[in-house]
Structure 1
Amino acid sequence: MDTNLISDSCLCVSFRQMQVVQHSEHTLKTALISKNPVLVSQYEKLTVGEQRLMNEAFQPTSELFRPITVYSQSDWITSHPEAPQDFEKFFSDPYRKAPTPEKSNIYIQPIGSLGNSRVISEEYVKWLKGYCEAFFYGLTVKFLEPVSISATKCSFRVNDHTQNLQIHAGHILTFLKKKKPEDAFCVVGITMIDLYPRDSWNFVFGQASLTEGVGIFSFARYGKDFHSSCYKGTVTKAKRTSSSEYSIFDNYYIPEITSVLLLRSCKTLTHEIGHIFGLRHCQWLACLMQGSNHLEEADRRPLNLCPICLRKLQCALGFDVVERYKVSGRRGRREVENP
């Protein structure tokens, strides 16, 4: 895993503090199509429209898919070296799972309140559901009834840096594993409470288990005032004395649901569910599956998958790429016109 990501197969152009990770056409073509005759044959069976879109991955003048720009040493691709995953590695991964007719639903489990009123919560859920069904075209997305923090029996703490409440991501995954419906491909929890994966970590946006088909994602840090001194989720010293009881979560602050928070939520949800399908962090082109260390980096990620990651998802779901984009476009227009 200690592979140098900026290898001989890519050109790194530096200016000021930024680096553009520009892979060669040959490297991108191999990452997408493979040299394996079986996988090449599969690629050649795609429709003309599908191949035309996919081939944009290795066109140097493409306006659709851009190279990755690294803005600082704190960005994910620099600070978390990982072995790149091309299509062939994805295809041959023995731990990769795909939906079956018996397990073809994505379940989303709200943990705690998602909005400061029932109407807002339901509207937020409707948008998330619609977006996920368009993104994971061919699967059904179902929402489970919300559960309280206390129902999960998770550990929690007050973050030393932000003074905000956090719940233990690993304990939530254990809870979701026990509650996973029989017909679920995966079940993911979403919450407006901040997460931490272990005592030594400051926070985590989300965590997922590929083998168990479960994930938990927090949208708490997507609120516009999370890092401000006036954030209403800050736990006062008086309240902290009773933080051994789950009552501390009663009427806990929920950030306002804005269009920016919704956009960030959609990105995180689809990115993390992508991991459950076996997609690793993308290191080829600007892509939704790029890792992110901080909110600024997460905001720079596009909504779309690059062609290499798109082929991986298509392999898992079997959709027609062009039809997926057409249906997604029609659904998006309907929801904008009839919010």
Structure 2
Amino acid sequence: MQTVRHSEHTLKTALISKNPALVSQYEKLDAGEKRLMDEAFRPDSDLFGPITLHSQSDWITSHPEAPQDFEEFFSDPYRKIPSPQKHSIYVQCIGLLGNTRSISEEYVKWLKGYCEAFFYGLTVKLLEPVPVSATRCSFRINDNTQNLQIHAGQILKFLKKKKPEDAFCVVGITMIDLYPRDSWNFVFGQASLTDGAGEVGW
């Protein structure tokens, strides 16, 4: 197994910008936020551990992407920013997330709590769960796994239609496999940065 571990210098270069607008924001961080930021640079951090690659088929190895530092992320013209009018993350469950409705609801409560902590300051709201049939998406049976799979791109279109007016984004969650196109075996999730919609398969 290979471990991806970057030096403190590399991390600080990637995460801390000299952009004046960002520098002024760093200065406004409270003690807790500064402590959290410092955790990212500690080699023995419990919060930000190194990434372990188990095989050549791991996503980072098999799907190489150009690196992006925080400055590039901050300056991206397509980056969406919450506003007083659009400050809510909506979660749409598609099908059950467990064997029963009560188990499914428990999972969604955990997910809501996690999102509220991770996306601090945004409100997380739950949409009424819908069955897979309500999405009217194309589906297939995977030749290798024999699992049912639904078309990820068509779920994005479904979510876009369901997106409330005050939504910063809407996220679909499902336990059913996803595929983005016929030539792909599967995909973990898919998102649209312009429409503020995405879905994740568990």
TM-score, structure 2 length as denominator?
A: 0.88
Tell me by how many angstroms 1:103 deviates. Answer: 1.1
Q: Aligned to 2:9, which of 13, 26, 36?
A: 26
Q: Aligned to 2:40, which of 57, 71, 82?
A: 57
- Determine helix, strand or coil for the equivalent of 2:159: helix
2:71 matches 1:88: yes
Tell me how many residue pairs correspond in the alignment. Answer: 202
Q: Hey, what does 1:39 align to over in structure 2?
A: 22
Q: Deviations over 1:27-67 (max 9, x none)?
A: 22121212334433432332344323313333455555333
Q: Hey, what does 2:150 align to over in structure 1?
A: 167
| % identical aligned pairs | 81
Which structure has the bigger radius of gyration? 1
Cα distance in structure 2, aligned partners of 1:96 and 1:218: 24
In structure 2, what residue type is equivalent to 1:120?
I
Bigger RCO (CA 8 Å, 6+ sep): 1
TM-score, structure 1 length as denominator?
A: 0.55
1:1-339 matches, cutoff 5 A: 18-60=1-43, 62=45, 64-219=47-202
Q: Deviations over 1:156-214 (max 9, x none)?
A: 11110111211111111111111211111111111222111110111112111111111
Tell me by how many angstroms 1:105 deviates. Answer: 1.1
In structure 1, what residue type is equivalent to 2:152?
A
Cα distance in structure 2, aligned partners of 1:184 and 1:38: 26
Cα distance in structure 1, aligned partners of 2:188 and 2:11: 29
Cα distance in structure 1, aligned partners of 2:34 and 2:18: 16
TM-aligned CA distance change 1:41 to 1:131, over 3 Å: closer
Specify which structure has the higher proportion of helix: 1
Please tell me the root mean square deviation across aligned C-alpha atoms, in Å.
2.1
Specify which structure has the higher proportion of strand: 2
Tell me by how many angstroms 1:101 deviates. Answer: 1.1
